[in-house]
Structure 1
């Protein structure tokens, strides 16, 4: 024997029972839209439901990430709608903004020559207790060096970033060394360079790093120091390439 199959509607009464219930609840003259009469009983006494006005609560942060692809596209075009878009997603939609998104906004501020505003976004990032990525500082370091505020850039890399548990990367050191070379402070450049060599690991200078520093030192006429770094390059087992011998 086969077990009887259950209908997906078996929880409802059979149609005959439903018809019997309707016939007991309504007369033919009072039937409206097939609904029983009690649905319309004392209709005149029913008062409209009053819902008290509640104050609007501010949007809460959601786990939905910001559309960074769209934001990056706006930044690349230097679109003036970058700030309105950022305000809309953070204030109106309450979308969570991570350190990467803040980095995009910092880059845009530097791009628009708004360094003070870039520092404001950095402060907001730190205030929220988010982790700081060394790439977040790169646009700020470049802007400081281009404005000849080398001492502030040195303070950020040597002092402030380590205190934030944000260890400077190769890009941070390279930006700083180029800025120092432009100011003629090749002594501090070599100190920073050999500090990277001492750290080793991810800070191990590549042929590109050696070539960049040698080129910058040569530009300020410090040929003896440049040749010394060239010799150190050989002793470290880093083979020079065409970039090393070509002035930029």
Structure 2
């Protein structure tokens, strides 16, 4: 079988584009000039280099990225699945969700749907951004499996974020439970739990958030500093300082180093309760763990120092 001949100039140009793209050495203007140059001599092997250029342009100008795709389609260079993924992303970020769905239709028609998990993700993010998370759920739970495109953690995490942004954290919780009970290969991860815990706390569902945190530990999902700090913050807001301290101890036991934000929650909580001796203990613990107070820490101190000073001055004036 004879090997297809690729002109030396074109091959060098394609290799140059690839090297510069991976080195982060192509700006939008350069990409446009290179695109014009490549398209004049492009062949079937040029689609990878074209994808690099369209991606670069689309980052700064999604609408211009869509325009470049149209030029590719009319230049007899067959787009591949990655080209369509880039197109869907550009359409969604340009606010043209309708064109994104049209491009997705081409992907399905060409038989790329099973490998189009990233493409679906672009659509899901855009749909959730428009507060249409119920539709995004239908895509993940029904449409994607229909085309043998198995949703992954990233797909579900987009749903969790969308539901919580719409103050539907209870539905997000039910979705987590559904994933766990299904027992499939796609299970909630630390990002999933962090998102839903944060959503519940924002809706004032502190007890449910703490329960979900406990479930997370039972499932063997190791929390991170974001998870623990969110829970500690929620506990401090309802003055459940014993539970907040319990989570702090769990962090230390798991060798998850608390940061300034973690300690700020505890400092603020104890100040609100007037437990200044416990505030001193937290400051000493911060120092032992090598955590430096930040501007928020000092602002909390200043606010409560002023409040305490005003209270003392008020008593003095009354006397």
TM-score (structure 2 length as normaliser): 0.54
The corresponding residue for 2:192 is 209
- In the alignment, which of 86, 97, 118 is matched to residue 79 of structure 2? 97
Contact 2:145 2:151 in 1 (8 A): yes
The corresponding residue for 2:208 is 225
Contact 2:62 2:91 in 1 (8 A): no
In structure 2, do the counterparts of structure 1 residues 153 and 124 end up closer, same or farther at CA, with 3 Å as the change threshold?
A: same
- In the alignment, which of 195, 209, 217 is matched to residue 178 of structure 2? 195
The corresponding residue for 1:180 is 163
Does 1:113 find its partner at 2:95?
Answer: yes
Give the drift of 1:239: 2.8
The corresponding residue for 1:245 is 228
User: What SS does the aligned partner of 2:151 have?
Assistant: coil
The corresponding residue for 1:128 is 110
Contact 1:181 1:216 in 2 (8 A): yes
Deviation larger for 129-138 or 76-85? 76-85
Separation in 2, partners of 1:76, 1:144: 19
Give the drift of 1:64: 4.8
Contact 1:63 1:96 in 2 (8 A): no
Deviation per CA, 1:103-142: give whole Å up to 9, x if none.
Answer: 1111111111111111111111112222342211112111
Separation in 1, partners of 2:223, 2:160: 20
The alignment of Structure 1 onto Structure 2 pairs a total of residues equal to 187
Separation in 2, partners of 1:206, 1:151: 21
Separation in 2, partners of 1:73, 1:242: 34
The corresponding residue for 1:150 is 133
The higher relative CO (CA closer than 8 Å, separation ≥ 6) is in: 1
Give the drift of 1:169: 0.9
In terms of fraction of residues, the more helix-rich structure is 2
The corresponding residue for 2:5 is none
Deviation per CA, 1:50-85: give whole Å up to 9, x if none.
Answer: xxxxxxxxxxx9465342111110111116532332
Flag the structure with larger Rg.
1
The corresponding residue for 1:165 is 148
TM-score (structure 1 length as normaliser): 0.68
Separation in 1, partners of 2:123, 2:102: 11
Separation in 1, partners of 2:109, 2:45: 19
RMSD of Structure 2 on Structure 1 (CA)? 2.2
Structure 1 gap segments, 5+ residues each: 1-60
